[in-house]
Structure 1
Amino acid sequence: MTLTIYHNPRCSKSRNTLELIEGRGVTPVIVPYLDAAPNTTTILHLAKALSLPVKAMLRTGEQEFKDAAGSLDIDDDQALAEWLAQHPRALERPIVIDEQTGQAVIGRPPENVLTLLPK
């Protein structure tokens, strides 16, 4: 099993999700996405794996989003993914993807990750 977590260590939900993963004996690939922002292609891939539009991956309470909201077409996945690649703070967290099955979840609540983990 190969899991990747798009992780913010300062976020309690992200830390709790990582603890759940490691508690099941899985060592995930940790992507500190604020330091190594996912590119547009990766964001689109994550949205597909989540079976969600890119706008569902937005943290609408983030100031960066609030500042740009009037100029963004949140229904244009490509344009929004390009914007998120430049403003990763507005990306929902954590996102965990099972690289083998292509399934992903947002760890809000952290227990969502249990659907990807071995029983």
Structure 2
Amino acid sequence: MTDKIVIYQKPTCSKCRATLSLLKESGEEFESINYYETPLTVGKLRELIQKLNLPVRDILRKDEPAAHNLSAASDDEIIKAMVENPDLIQRPIVVSGNRAKLCRPPETVMDFLK
């Protein structure tokens, strides 16, 4: 793989920790970004969503209490809410070049590395 691998994650998330372990075991070099310490901007989150090729609502953690009042929100409002409250973002997100994958379950990162 020639493009740099980046994982956007939350250290206390079990799926993120499992994905990080799989990345380490793969031997691939990667950068880990804790998006609680390095917050995502609206522009960066839009870029990730475009690379994921998923609707905005598919990366919204709908079980989070803060998501309950977003049922009638526009995509722009949801993105703004996710930037303001990162708990609303599905994770982990692994990126390489113009590709990205929401690694739920964590094992999907292995297909992404191929």
TM-score between both structures, scaled by the size of structure 2: 0.88
- Tell me the residue number matched to 1:24: 26
Identity of aligned residues (%): 29
Give the whole-Å Cα distance in 1 for the aligned partners of 2:77 and 2:64. Answer: 18
Show structure 1 runs of 4+ deviating over 6 A.
Answer: none
Give 3-state SS (helix, strand or coil) of 2:91's partner.
coil
Alpha carbons 1:84, 1:91 under 8 Å: kept: yes
Listed one character per residue, the Cα deviations across residues 33-86 of structure 1 (whole Å, up to 9, x for unaligned) are: 1222211111111111111011111111112223x335x51xx32222122111
| Cα drift, residue 13 of structure 1 | 0.7
Give 3-state SS (helix, strand or coil) of 2:62's partner.
coil
- Tell me the residue number matched to 1:43: 45
- Tell me the residue number matched to 1:69: 70
Q: How many residues align?
A: 112
Give 3-state SS (helix, strand or coil) of 1:19's partner.
helix
Give the whole-Å Cα distance in 1 for the aligned partners of 2:53 and 2:60. Answer: 14
Task: Give the aligned residue type for 2:41.
Answer: N
Give 3-state SS (helix, strand or coil) of 1:30's partner.
strand
Task: Give the aligned residue type for 2:86.
Answer: P
- Tell me the residue number matched to 1:54: 56
Give 3-state SS (helix, strand or coil) of 1:45's partner.
helix
Give 3-state SS (helix, strand or coil) of 1:110's partner.
coil
- Tell me the residue number matched to 2:77: 79
- Tell me the residue number matched to 1:88: 86
TM-score between both structures, scaled by the size of structure 1: 0.85
Is 2:78 the partner of 1:111? no
Give the whole-Å Cα distance in 1 for the aligned partners of 2:33 and 2:75. Answer: 22
**Aligned counterparts, 1:2-21, within 5 A:** 2-21=4-23
| Cα drift, residue 88 of structure 1 | 0.7
